[in-house]
Structure 1
Amino acid sequence: MNDKSQGLTSADITQLWAVYMNDCALECQLQYFSEIVKDEDIKSLVQHGLNLTQSHIPKITEIFNSERYPIPYGFKLDEDVDINAPRLYSDAYILYYLQQGAQTAIQAYSINLSLAGREDVYNYFSECLQEQDEWLKMVNTVLQSKGLYVIFPYLPKPESYDFVQNQSFLTGYFGERRPLAGTEINNLFANYHRNALGSATLIGFSQVATNTDVRKFMIRGKEMAQKHCEIFGSILSEDDIPAATRMDDLVTDSTSYTFSDKLMMYYSTGLIALSVGYYGTSMSASPRRDLGTTYNRLLNEILKYAEDGANIMIKHGWLEEPPRALDRDELAKKKG
């Protein structure tokens, strides 16, 4: 493993930069949640998550400073959130938000750890992964205690092992479709649940957005998430498998300024990026061809949505440029 004298690799700096940005945004959200949450058990979880987030930022800053690498601007508590704003989301929403956030962080830190090229960076991501593991366990325990934990569908127990006998296992466009495989059920169910949370999130964002472009973008995203829920739910219902529940009722009627448009656009485009990854994984794990076609169609839809979101952020000067390679042609032009 590389030592500090060799500097940060592209993987090191890119992942650290992304984590710094995410933690800055998360600090704003968790500070607000800590003010509005009523349930003491959930409040304790929010505070634990906030403590973790606030401990990460100076550690990454120290690594950046040691390399004389510029600190990202990120997000600021005095610019991007009003922690005294009225309640926008219910306690149940906050709990589901914490669960999804911890699940996403575990996946991200696992990838970061596998790519880390320097020992101090590896140790940092290893520590973060262990923290998120413990935090997710805490969140799930509270979800279960409140009767809110979403349980994946059960499958019948087979009498013995079996092998696929013919090509019909892969079909699904016409005629009789085989029942969904376990991996297909898991992905459909999880994607429904994530879109249900996404819909609730974007409903709240649309209510408090101040910019017209942002408000329209959030409404469009909400409608897209709801449509995707309907699609995934209908596929599950063909095999009499219930989908997770919708969460739109977990949003209040507040329209007061809560988060900056910049922060909400960052968060919503991040949700889109996650969806691209989840849909791609789901497509690769779905042998039934009709499911692959459905995921591909939905992927194209959210990719277009992502591009429109990036254009809005660029238009308003909200898109902070990530680490990138040198533009050699531009350097040559300056020389001349």
Structure 2
Amino acid sequence: MWAAYMNDCALECKLQYFLAKVSDGEIQPLVQQALDLAQSHIIKLRDIFTNDNYPIPYGFKPSEDVDINAPKLYSDDYILRYLHQGAQIALEAYSISLSMAGRVDVFNYFSECVYEQSGFLKTVNTVLQSKGLYINMPYLPVPESYDFVKSQNFLTGYFGERRPLTGPEIINLFGNYQRNALGSATMIGFSQVAKNSDVRKFLMRGKEISQKHCEIFGSILHEDDVPAPAKMDDSVTDSTTYTFSDKLMMFYSTGLIALGVGFYGASMSMSPRRDLGATYNRLLNEILKYAEDGANIMIKNEWMEEPPRALDRDELAKKKK
């Protein structure tokens, strides 16, 4: 719930800016709907915190972390794809939270979020399809019948002939490519408007990592003549005017890294071919180091709000003495 509140506060800032800049008549109502959902979530979570005498996180505030009057930084197509991927990620996060909720009010809250987000995702999909922007997963031929793996060669991939990619492997490579493509465009825009030099260098490094990972995933797909999604770097304008606070951009960037860690780990578990597992492991180590560098920047600037944590029993014992 703490993480949900932080994410919705950050999302409110970004969506208010998108709402002020979007010009497409079909995309604008989607941004408004997403903003309405985020703001309603903030109110409901505050009520739950208040009823439990739990301190409300500081989070992010539109008055401090965004300038909606800044020039347009991202295209309308980027905004639509951002809403699409954001809805997918949110739906997964709400589903996990729902499965772990024990209290009735918390269960009901996340159940409502799942219902809202699934409806919103369906609407976004419809608009993407109407504009010809929906990216379908690669086509797989229909097998004649079921079959069983008969050789250890199914697992090999380092040397010699590699078997073709399986459906789950393709879906994960494809999805990780899409997320990195959005991440690259996001980092490009963020780096153009960042004030702090350390933040700017960090964001530019993130852009390079995202682009490199796209190339790696794309090359694996191309080996089996599977098309990779399109890049999105051209969806960023040339604006360099202050738009988002460095604190907000670092929160979003480190959040993208955390998502990458989760998706790469899940992809590794669903990729029996050994070379794919080794690739995901190598890329995981790279983004974990990048995440640590991001955390250090946030701590140095006092931007990292501390999440709830367990009691330090040893510290309590020392105080009693």
TM-score range, shorter chain: over 0.9
Structure 1 residues 48-63: aligned runs within 5 Å:
48-63=33-48
Aligned to 1:47: 32
Letter in 2 for 1:152: M
Structure 1 residues 226-305: aligned runs within 5 Å:
226-305=211-290
Counterpart-to-counterpart distance in 1, 2:79 and 2:318: 51
Listed as ranges, the gaps of 5+ residues in structure 1 are: 1-15
Q: Offset of 1:157 from its aligned partner?
A: 1.3
Structure 1 residues 1-336: aligned runs within 5 Å:
16-336=1-321
Deviation sequence 1:203-239 (CA, Å, 0-9, x none): 0000000001100000000000000000000000000
Counterpart-to-counterpart distance in 1, 2:46 and 2:317: 32
Counterpart-to-counterpart distance in 2, 1:286 and 1:57: 38
Counterpart-to-counterpart distance in 1, 2:242 and 2:181: 23
Please give the root-mean-square deviation of Cα atoms over the aligned residues, in Å: 0.6
Counterpart-to-counterpart distance in 2, 1:302 and 1:315: 20
Aligned to 1:4: none
Counterpart-to-counterpart distance in 2, 1:56 and 1:179: 44
Letter in 1 for 2:26: D
Q: Offset of 1:329 from its aligned partner?
A: 1.9
Counterpart-to-counterpart distance in 2, 1:316 and 1:292: 36
Q: Offset of 1:270 from its aligned partner?
A: 0.4
Paired residue secondary structure (1:40): coil
Q: Offset of 1:158 from its aligned partner?
A: 1.4
Counterpart-to-counterpart distance in 1, 2:243 and 2:136: 32
Paired residue secondary structure (2:92): helix
Q: Offset of 1:331 from its aligned partner?
A: 2.1
Listed as ranges, the gaps of 5+ residues in structure 2 are: none
Counterpart-to-counterpart distance in 2, 1:319 and 1:128: 26
Deviation sequence 1:128-147 (CA, Å, 0-9, x none): 11000000001110011111
Q: Offset of 1:310 from its aligned partner?
A: 0.5
Paired residue secondary structure (1:41): coil
Deviation sequence 1:76-96 (CA, Å, 0-9, x none): 111000011100000000000
Counterpart-to-counterpart distance in 1, 2:227 and 2:271: 19
Identity of aligned residues (%): 76
Deviation sequence 1:281-312 (CA, Å, 0-9, x none): 00000010000000000000000001110010
Counterpart-to-counterpart distance in 2, 1:296 and 1:251: 31
Q: Offset of 1:160 from its aligned partner?
A: 1.6
Deviation sequence 1:246-275 (CA, Å, 0-9, x none): 000000000000000000000000000000
Q: Offset of 1:332 from its aligned partner?
A: 2.4
Counterpart-to-counterpart distance in 2, 1:29 and 1:52: 13
Letter in 1 for 2:18: F
Counterpart-to-counterpart distance in 2, 1:82 and 1:50: 16
Poorly superposed stretches of 4+, deviation over 3 Å: none
Counterpart-to-counterpart distance in 2, 1:175 and 1:206: 42
Counterpart-to-counterpart distance in 2, 1:165 and 1:19: 46
Paired residue secondary structure (1:23): helix
Counterpart-to-counterpart distance in 2, 1:312 and 1:231: 28
